[in-house]
């Protein structure tokens, strides 16, 4: 009898051990299932995050504050290497992962991955465990674990990492499903609001605007180029040697006025040193609307040194009006005659009469007419050197007018030619 009782006791104890082992086996299986589900979601979330980064401009053109853009596993697989080859979007609970992206405000994308359909994860503890291992969140059961703030209309990050995020404008998968807000899914960079897009986004110009300084020197110290630029608009340009184009008075080389296109302003370049003297510049090169270049210095005084020839603009019309006394210019006919502005009129340098030639003549000599630049009139002046006259004591020199060429006559009072010499000078008068 004792032996029978011993066998029965051993059997009971064995059955108790089997029950305990069964429970531990079930717990172990649940843990494995949780780990696999979490790992599956992490891989999918990483691909979805990169997908949003790469296609943000396309998504922003369609997504609204109430209507999301939906991205499936098949779409990600077709778009590129966002998921491992042959990767399934269905987790061990038969739930299908899906990305949905809203645009609550212009240029701000809010991307959430949810698990749709399949079997709900009925154990709230396992639901939270999977969400934590996936670095994600979940859609809870109402009053889950006695927490009255838990609402099946929201998604929550595991252990309060983020949320709640209202699912009213997303496809709510219901309680017992997983959710991942990409901004917090293993990345410190949100997928949706800090990127400068290299393509134009319809109705979103701010997405092409830098919001901080841009450096083109890499970690190795190599500076890189910007090429293919059409127009650059800037307040100051400064090169590495310290020179700059600026609009201030800080001892720099300035550009002012309309420098690159026609306009009403006068382009100029100022060379100055701030704080020295009372003038706002020490030297200025200025171009007016007629494409005339002016070089001036403080107090309107300037010195121009030229290594070689100085070519004047051919803008002066003889006896025409000029704006500033003392200005010089070339004859408008391009002959090379130089004029200065005298009392508001363009006058040849040297006066209204310019001597062009000098001849020693006698009675009957021919004096050629000078070639006068545009606007000039040929003239002749005769001056007696020596002569012999008859008793009339009269000497006549002619001509004294006309534009030449001229025949010189030295005659007595009777009109007869007499021996003698004279100086003939030809002029161009203005």
Residues β-bridged to residue 381? 425
Stretch (H or E) spanning 6: helix 2-54
3-state secondary structure of 263: coil
Stretch (H or E) spanning 126: helix 124-133
Using alpha carbons, list the distances in angstroms from residue 275 to 243, 245, 248, 249, 374: 18, 18, 12, 8, 49
Sort 222 into a burial class: Cβ within 10 Å, 0-12 / 13-18 / 19+: exposed
**Rounded distance, CA 35 to CA 91, Å?**
11
**Rounded distance, CA 428 to CA 374, Å?**
10
Selection from 209, 184, 182 nearest residue 195 by Cα: 209
The pTM assigned to this predicted structure is 0.44
pLDDT of residue 293: 61
pLDDT of residue 174: 94
pLDDT of residue 357: 85
Core vs surface per residue 339-354: b (16+ CB within 10 A) or e:
bbbbeebbbbeeeebb
pLDDT of residue 56: 85
Positive or negative, the CA dihedral 9, 15, 21, 27 is negative
pLDDT of residue 139: 94
Tens of pLDDT along the chain (430 residues)?
566 555 565 555 555 555 555 554 555 556 778 888 889 999 999 999 999 988 888 888 899 999 999 999 999 999 888 999 888 899 999 999 999 999 988 878 899 999 999 999 989 898 999 998 988 999 999 998 888 889 999 999 888 888 899 999 999 999 999 999 986 333 333 444 556 667 676 666 777 788 888 888 888 889 899 898 888 877 766 666 554 455 555 444 555 544 444 445 555 555 554 544 434 555 666 665 565 666 666 555 555 555 567 778 888 899 999 988 989 888 888 888 899 999 999 999 888 888 888 888 777 788 888 888 888 888 877 777 666 666 666 666 667 678 878 888 878 777 777 787 887 787 787 7
pLDDT of residue 335: 87
391 secondary structure, DSSP code: T
Q: How many CB atoms lie within 10 A of CB 375?
A: 21
pLDDT of residue 192: 45
Stretch (H or E) spanning 421: strand 420-429
Q: What is the domain partition of the chain in residue ranges?
A: 2-184, 244-300, 314-348, 353-429
**Rounded distance, CA 334 to CA 315, Å?**
9
Please give, one letter per residue, the 3-state secondary structure of 28-65.
HHHHHHHHHHHHHHHHHHHHHHHHHHHCHHHHHCCCCC
pLDDT in tens, 239-286: 665 544 555 554 445 555 444 444 455 555 555 545 444 345 556 666
pLDDT of residue 91: 92
pLDDT of residue 325: 92
Contact 34, 136 (CB under 8 A): no
**Rounded distance, CA 176 to CA 128, Å?**
9
Show contacts of 149-157: CB within 8 Å, 24+ apart.
Answer: 155/112, 155/114, 155/179, 155/181, 157/131, 157/181, 157/184
pLDDT of residue 416: 79
């Amino acid at each position: 009898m004792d032996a029978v009782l011993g066998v029965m006791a051993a059997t009971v104890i064995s059955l108790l051990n089997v029950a305990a082992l069964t429970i531990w086996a079930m717990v172990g299986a649940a843990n494995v299932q949780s780990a696999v589900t979490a790992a599956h979601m992490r891989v999918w979330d990483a691909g979805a995050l990169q997908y949003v980064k790469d296609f943000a401009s396309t998504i922003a053109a369609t997504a609204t504050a109430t209507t999301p853009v939906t991205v499936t596993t098949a779409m990600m697989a077709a778009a590129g290497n966002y998921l491992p080859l042959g990767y399934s979007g269905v987790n061990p609970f038969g739930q299908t992962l899906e990305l949905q992206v809203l645009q609550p405000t212009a240029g701000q994308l809010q991307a959430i991955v949810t698990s749709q359909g399949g079997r709900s994860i009925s154990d709230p503890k396992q639901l939270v465990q999977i969400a934590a291992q996936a670095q994600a969140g979940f859609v809870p059961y109402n009053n889950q674990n006695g927490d009255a703030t838990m609402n099946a209309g929201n998604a929550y990050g595991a252990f309060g990492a983020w949320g709640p995020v209202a699912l009213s404008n997303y496809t709510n998968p219901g309680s017992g499903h997983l959710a991942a807000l990409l901004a917090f899914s293993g990345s410190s960079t949100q997928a949706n609001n800090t990127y400068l897009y290299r393509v134009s986004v319809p109705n979103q110009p701010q997405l092409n605007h830098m919001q901080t300084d841009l450096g083109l020197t890499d970690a190795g110290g190599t500076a890189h180029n910007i090429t293919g630029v059409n127009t650059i608009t800037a307040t100051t340009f400064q090169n590495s040697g310290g020179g700059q184009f600026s609009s201030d008075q800080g001892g720099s080389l300035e550009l002012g006025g309309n420098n690159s296109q026609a306009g009403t302003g006068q382009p100029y370049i100022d060379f100055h040193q701030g704080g020295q003297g009372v003038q706002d510049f020490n030297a200025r090169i200025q171009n007016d609307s007629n494409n005339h270049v002016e070089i001036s210095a403080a107090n309107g005084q300037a010195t121009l040194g030229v290594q070689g020839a100085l070519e004047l603009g051919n803008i002066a019309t003889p006896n025409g009006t000029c704006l500033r006394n003392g200005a010089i210019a070339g004859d408008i006919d391009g002959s090379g005659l130089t004029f200065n502005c005298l009392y508001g009129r363009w006058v040849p340098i040297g006066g209204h009469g310019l001597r062009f030639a000098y001849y020693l003549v006698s009675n009957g000599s021919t004096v050629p007419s000078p070639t006068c630049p545009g606007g000039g009139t040929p003239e002749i002046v005769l001056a007696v050197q020596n002569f012999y006259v008859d008793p009339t004591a009269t000497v006549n020199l002619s001509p004294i007018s006309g534009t030449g060429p001229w025949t010189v006559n030295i005659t007595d009072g009777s009109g007869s030619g007499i021996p003698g010499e004279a100086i003939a000078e030809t002029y161009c008068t203005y």
